Chains A and B, each alone.
Chain A
């Protein structure tokens, strides 16, 4: 009985080992790099999803030895998980604050931090909405039920939105209309489905949806500049490849992909 089990175990091991060596041979034969394929783990703000998925295609074509794996989420959550030891090679944040947190804790590869793109905040409504609002200061809190924004303490878009609304003295009056979302894509979904009357998202988010209309863009002086800082992380085992990726993102093709999805 136990001999049979050992036999099965051996068989499984042999198959696994064969699989491994085949895999290595495969990359040696086709790849430009004789070393094993490097998988980069990139923690990126949810708002970058479409632009990065697009960029991944062109990047991986040019760098056959690098495979990109994205982990999307709210920047605050990503920073927390990196701080708690989640494996990541590059962090692309939608907020200065979350990058600062990691920098203060010494988790960044020194000197790699750079702002790689910008964004703006827009006020959106469902495509079927009959709202006549054309600027942020025309928002009339008593005229509707639900205003969705990102949760200000954890979602950067929410924090910027709070700054805008505070600047316009609308934060107080809007209190009982606010619905807080766990990331900026949730805001978009609730407006797309018509559950919320208004929402505030990045221009890049409104850009990819044909179910919402943009009513107004916020003035950039009403909030802290929305820059996206990125950096290679100190604990990365592939700092070299990570830097190659981050440089490419700041290069022509990366910027083109970002511009295509409404980033500035």
Chain B
């Protein structure tokens, strides 16, 4: 059995999760505790990929990143890079669909923090970066981790938009969901079952680990309080 879909899926999910984590934490932190006109519109836009059908997301990405698309044509002319039909396209699709999960978790985590801790540090002359690094981030970590794991799981399972943007090129853009889809279509049930078991195990252990971890930390948190 050719295991390339496994490595590709993991590679795509890991890279996309890193991007989504940085982007999600940055934007959520930027918008947390800040009120401005149109904030809810901006946040709704961020969450849109979560509710749109994958085909719509895929179509939108094709319009943006296709050879003749707004971003795609610019990339092609300036850097001679074609995104469509590469594994980078799979990363882009993953980032877009898993971003809402990260953003939502991160902004909930930041919103629930107590402002006074940061303010106290500031009165003692701490820079914003230091406040973020030593207070905000560690306190928000459980929430951020939940977002991180969910984004990873979502990225791992991404299919619809990926198929449209990355195409199906065996050995190059065939992630596990893609391998499953084409195996089922071709009636190769054994191959499909193999990958179904692999991806179920991956997804299940990810969620299981998250639950175990958060429960352990909640307990520790509770005992510290006492």
Chain B contact surface mostly:
loop
**Who on chain B is nearest to A78 by CB?**
B185
Task: Verify A151–B169 contact, CB threshold 8 A.
Answer: no
Task: Verify B168–A193 contact, CB threshold 8 A.
Answer: no
Task: Verify A154–B182 contact, CB threshold 8 A.
Answer: yes
**Who on chain A is nearest to B163 by CB?**
A182
Q: Which residues of A contact B169 (CB under 8 A)?
A: 178-180
Q: Which residues of A contact B170 (CB under 8 A)?
A: 180
Contact flags B19-47 to A (C-beta < 8 A → 1, else 0): 00000000000000000000000000000
Q: How far is the CB of B45 from chain A (nearest CB, A)?
A: 24
Size of B's binding interface in residues, CB under 8 A: 21
Task: Verify A182–B185 contact, CB threshold 8 A.
Answer: yes
- How many Å lie between the Cα of A30 and that of B43 in the bound state? 51
Does residue A77 face the partner (Cβ distance < 8 Å to B)? yes
Does residue A153 face the partner (Cβ distance < 8 Å to B)? yes
**Who on chain A is nearest to B59 by CB?**
A189
Does residue B125 face the partner (Cβ distance < 8 Å to A)? no
**Who on chain A is nearest to B168 by CB?**
A180
Known interface pairs A190-B167, A193-B68; A146-B186 also in contact (CB < 8 Å): no
Does residue B144 face the partner (Cβ distance < 8 Å to A)? no
- How many Å lie between the Cα of A139 and that of B82 in the bound state? 22
Size of A's binding interface in residues, CB under 8 A: 25
Contact flags B160-178 to A (C-beta < 8 A → 1, else 0): 0001100111100000000
Task: Verify A154–B185 contact, CB threshold 8 A.
Answer: yes
**Who on chain B is nearest to A74 by CB?**
B185
**Could you say which of B68, B185, B188 has the most chain A C-beta atoms within 10 Å of its C-beta?**
B185
**Who on chain B is nearest to A73 by CB?**
B185
Does residue A262 face the partner (Cβ distance < 8 Å to B)? no
Q: How far is the CB of A160 from chain B (nearest CB, A)?
A: 15
Does residue A181 face the partner (Cβ distance < 8 Å to B)? yes
Q: How far is the CB of A91 from chain B (nearest CB, A)?
A: 15
- How many Å lie between the Cα of A254 and that of B66 in the bound state? 37
Does residue A112 face the partner (Cβ distance < 8 Å to B)? no
**Who on chain B is nearest to A79 by CB?**
B187
- How many Å lie between the Cα of A194 and that of B67 in the bound state? 6
Does residue A145 face the partner (Cβ distance < 8 Å to B)? yes
- How many Å lie between the Cα of A153 and that of B211 in the bound state? 40
Interface residues of A (CB under 8 A from B): 74, 76-77, 79-80, 101, 145-146, 148, 151, 153-155, 178-182, 186, 189-190, 193-196
Interface residues of B (CB under 8 A from A): 62, 66-69, 82, 84-85, 163-164, 167-170, 181-182, 184-188
Additional A-B contact list (13), CB under 8 Å, known A154-B185, A179-B85: A79-B187, A145-B85, A153-B188, A154-B182, A155-B185, A179-B169, A189-B62, A190-B167, A194-B67, A194-B68, A195-B67, A195-B84, A196-B85
